Amino acid sequence: MAILTAGKPLARGALRVTHWDSPWLNPKLIIGAAMVLAVILMGLIGPWFWDVKLARVGAAPLNLPPMWAHNPLSPPPDPAHPLGTESNGRDMLAVVITGAPRSFQVGLIAAGIGMLIGVLFGFTAGFMGGWVDNVIRTLADSVITIPSLAVLIVISSYVRQVDINSMALILALFSWAGPTRVIRAQALTLRERGYVRMARLSGVSTPDIMFREMMPNMLPYLASSLAGNVSGAILAATSLEALGLGPTRIPTLGMTIFYSIRSSAIIRGMWWWWGFPILILVIIFTGLFLIAVGLDEIANPRLRGAKPA
């Protein structure tokens, strides 16, 4: 029996694999995961090759440009500080190595807490319906309409000592409404499926139906929503830090941008002070966006152009 490959018959025994036919081998998902993983590995492996103590104030000479740059207003470059230093005596390479994973940690904690609350509320509202759905939907819509950044600024200004965990908890106050609406919409669709009705007729309990029958079918949607929420939480945390409301003792990307703004780094031509943190943030946001798009295409065959069998 001949086997057709790309329109040409192959003899028996000449079968070869010409391409991978798996939705999880999505190019966008792979590229996005590689970008995010590179940032995470930089924070994990970087301290083995570079002294992160140089991220402390006064640990390095002031205002050194990167090795390949020259600034007439700054001293000459120093190979001991390849990415330069800033006006507080911090080495920029050490700041990036220590600040990038911490900024990612804030977004991951805030988005993770918001996702847990969103899963609980979304499944409950979508599956139970009735007055429970009305109450949860009203709460989620109310939180979404509130100007979250303004409220976060007020809350952060009253917190005397802000660290990574406290900032993540503050951001989690507004990171559950979006996942709740998304999961509720999917639960409204899944509860009408045949296997859910059969589970009801079989006497399966409501929690088992929601979290053992319906949730496995929503994992790509949940992962996509988590990636989007992590990006939003990092953006909110960076915005607060750029206003000076972040942890002052811990190097983060947002606080580095705040110090550069306060010291007029743009006017002084010290582009490396704010340029490298923004570059890392762009890589993180782009990677998370590609992950979310890739997971959407995995969950929805129409987006990836798959033809029904």
* 229-271 residue pLDDT tens: 999 999 989 988 888 888 877 788 999 999 999 999 988 889 9
Domain-located, residue 1? no
Six-digit token string for 266: 């743009």
Alpha carbon 196 to its chain centroid, in Å, reads 32
Indicate the pTM of the whole model.
Answer: 0.81
Q: How many domains does the chain have?
A: 1
Q: Which residue has the tokens 């792979």?
A: 30
Query: What pLDDT, on the 0 to 100 scale, is given for residue 33?
Result: 93
Q: What is the pLDDT of residues 102-128, one digit of tens each?
A: 888 899 999 999 999 998 999 888 888
In our burial notation (b when 16+ CB lie closer than 10 A, e otherwise), range 30-39 reads eebbebbeeb
Domain-located, residue 153? yes
Taking 50 as the pLDDT cut, the residues of the chain under it are: 1-7, 10, 13-20, 307-309
Query: What pLDDT, on the 0 to 100 scale, is given for residue 70?
Result: 77
Query: What pLDDT, on the 0 to 100 scale, is given for residue 308?
Result: 46
From 29, 33, 224, select the one nearest 111 (Cα to Cα): 224
| Residues of the domain holding 235 | 40-299
Domain-located, residue 16? no
From 38, 42, 40, select the one nearest 30 (Cα to Cα): 38
User: Exposed/middle/buried for 295, CB within 10 Å: 0-12, 13-18, 19+?
Assistant: buried
Domain-located, residue 196? yes
Residue 81 near residue 73, CB atoms below 8 Å: no
Query: What pLDDT, on the 0 to 100 scale, is given for residue 127?
Result: 81
Domain-located, residue 24? no
Q: Distance between CA 220 and CA 226 in Å, rounded?
A: 10
Query: What pLDDT, on the 0 to 100 scale, is given for residue 272?
Result: 92
Domain-located, residue 304? no
CATH code assigned at 130: 1.10.3720.10
Domain-located, residue 88? yes
Query: What pLDDT, on the 0 to 100 scale, is given for residue 71?
Result: 74
Domain-located, residue 197? yes
